[in-house]
């Protein structure tokens, strides 16, 4: 599982060792702290966090292993997805360039059509003046008369225009074809630049999604296998009856509980005794005349000092 994530043996071994120590100590702690009691529901409640953790670990570990086991099938699914992505990418990019290319192609068709129309017009004029010369149409007079010359001039003028149109339109057609070629090259370059991204569409998340496209039953049994492995220590603890270790543990806990209770009782007794002694001592001191006279003298001195200080402050204000 860790190798699937890090794709490095040393890193996977290092973190795998750390992971193993963590799970080992966690299992040891949870199993050792579950107390056997007469209520199975209480024991199950104590084991609930470990069972939840086992489910999470089973999912985390089983998925990369499933990906490795079904690697060929996943590669086939990914290949199909990549082909679809490639076609969709080409279609999207083509939609960006097709309108402009189509518009230029229509211009080329229009330019060629203009040449064809002018050529047809010139050919018709050619046929007209030839028919006039042969006497088949027009005046129907054989020979090259004034009408023939007029029609010949029209044909020659149209022929000159045709040559000019051909020259100009061929130049325009060549320019438009160059634009189309540039757009096609740009389109191809954009497709090629996006292709490596599609080819790299085989990360962990993509493989997990591809795994979900496969039948679920084999993956489910692999998950159950890891779930059984992860929950086996706690299940063994729950199924086992109360043994020597449990009785000794209970005995130690009871001993500690009694010791703590004794310490609390001792502290309470000491506190009560100390309070009673203090009360008796202060009551006895309250009845002593010498202590009373001493405190009375000190109180008189304090009052005299305060009176003198007040007198001096008032004298300074008035004076």
> Is 129 a domain residue?
yes
> Is 271 a domain residue?
no
> In terms of C-beta distances under 8 Å and separation of at least 24 residues, what long-range contacts does 145-152 make, across chains too?
151/125
**Are 57 and 29 found together in one domain?**
yes
Using alpha carbons, select from 98, 107, 95 the residue that is nearest to residue 175.
Answer: 107
Torsion of CA 175, 177, 178, 182, to 10 degrees: 140
**Are 111 and 170 found together in one domain?**
yes
Report yes or no: 148 and 133 within 8 Å, Cβ to Cβ. yes
**Are 65 and 137 found together in one domain?**
no
**Are 58 and 100 found together in one domain?**
no
> Is 128 a domain residue?
yes
Sign of CA dihedral 7, 9, 10, 14: positive
Taking only the tens of pLDDT, the chain with its 319 residues reads: 566 666 677 777 887 788 778 777 777 776 666 666 666 777 777 777 777 877 887 777 778 778 778 888 888 888 888 888 888 888 888 888 888 888 988 998 998 898 888 888 888 877 877 776 666 666 665 666 676 677 778 878 888 888 888 888 889 889 998 998 998 899 888 888 888 888 878 777 788 888 888 888 888 888 888 788 777 777 777 776 766 666 777 777 778 888 888 888 888 888 888 888 777 776 766 666 776 777 778 888 888 888 888 778 777 776 5
**Are 101 and 195 found together in one domain?**
yes
**Are 100 and 194 found together in one domain?**
yes
DSSP-derived letter for residue 70 is T
Count of the separate structural domains present in the chain: 3
**Are 19 and 106 found together in one domain?**
no
Continuous H helices in 135-243: 146-199, 204-212, 216-239
Tens of pLDDT, residue by residue over 276-296, are 877 777 676 666 677 677 777
> Is 279 a domain residue?
no
Structure tokens at 93: 């990019």
Angstrom distance (rounded) from CA 90 to CA 190: 9
> Is 35 a domain residue?
yes
pLDDT of residue 5: 60
> Is 84 a domain residue?
no
> Going by C-beta distance under 8 Å and a sequence separation of 6 or more, which residues neighbour residue 6?
12, 15
**Are 126 and 63 found together in one domain?**
no
**Are 133 and 180 found together in one domain?**
yes
pLDDT of residue 142: 62
Angstrom distance (rounded) from CA 122 to CA 138: 17
**Are 226 and 319 found together in one domain?**
no
Structure tokens at 310: 């007040």
pTM of the model: 0.51
> Is 79 a domain residue?
no
pLDDT of residue 75: 86
> Is 246 a domain residue?
no
Range of the domain at 123: 96-199
**Are 193 and 125 found together in one domain?**
yes
Angstrom distance (rounded) from CA 184 to CA 180: 6
**Are 221 and 147 found together in one domain?**
no
């Amino acid at each position: 599982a860790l190798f699937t994530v890090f794709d490095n043996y040393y890193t996977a071994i290092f973190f795998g060792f750390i992971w193993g120590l963590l799970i080992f100590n966690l299992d040891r702690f949870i199993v050792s702290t579950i107390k056997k009691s007469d209520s199975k529901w209480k024991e199950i409640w104590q084991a609930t966090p470990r069972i939840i953790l086992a489910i999470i670990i089973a999912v985390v570990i089983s998925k990369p292993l499933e990906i490795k086991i079904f690697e060929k099938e996943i590669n086939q699914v990914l290949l199909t997805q990549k082909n679809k992505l490639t076609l969709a990418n080409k279609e999207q990019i083509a939609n960006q360039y097709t309108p402009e290319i189509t518009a230029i192609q229509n211009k080329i068709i229009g330019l060629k059509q203009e040449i064809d129309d002018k050529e047809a017009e010139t050919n018709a004029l050619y046929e007209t003046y030839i028919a006039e010369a042969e006497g088949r149409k027009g005046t129907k007079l054989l020979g090259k008369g004034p009408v023939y010359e007029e029609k010949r001039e029209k044909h020659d003028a149209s022929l000159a225009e045709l040559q000019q149109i051909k020259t100009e339109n061929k130049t325009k057609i060549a320019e438009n074809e160059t634009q189309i070629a540039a757009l096609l090259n740009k389109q191809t370059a954009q497709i090629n630049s996006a292709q490596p991204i599609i080819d790299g569409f085989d990360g962990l998340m993509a493989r997990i999604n591809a795994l979900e496209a496969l039948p679920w039953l084999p993956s489910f049994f692999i998950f159950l296998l890891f779930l059984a492995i992860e929950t086996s220590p706690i299940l063994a603890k729950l199924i086992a009856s109360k043994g020597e270790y449990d009785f000794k543990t209970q005995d130690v806990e009871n001993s500690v509980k009694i010791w703590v209770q004794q310490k609390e009782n001792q502290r309470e007794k000491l506190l009560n005794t100390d309070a009673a002694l203090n009360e008796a001592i202060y009551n006895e001191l309250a009845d002593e005349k010498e202590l009373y006279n001493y405190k009375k003298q000190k109180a008189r001195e304090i009052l005299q000092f305060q009176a003198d200080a007040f007198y001096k402050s008032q004298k300074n204000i008035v004076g």
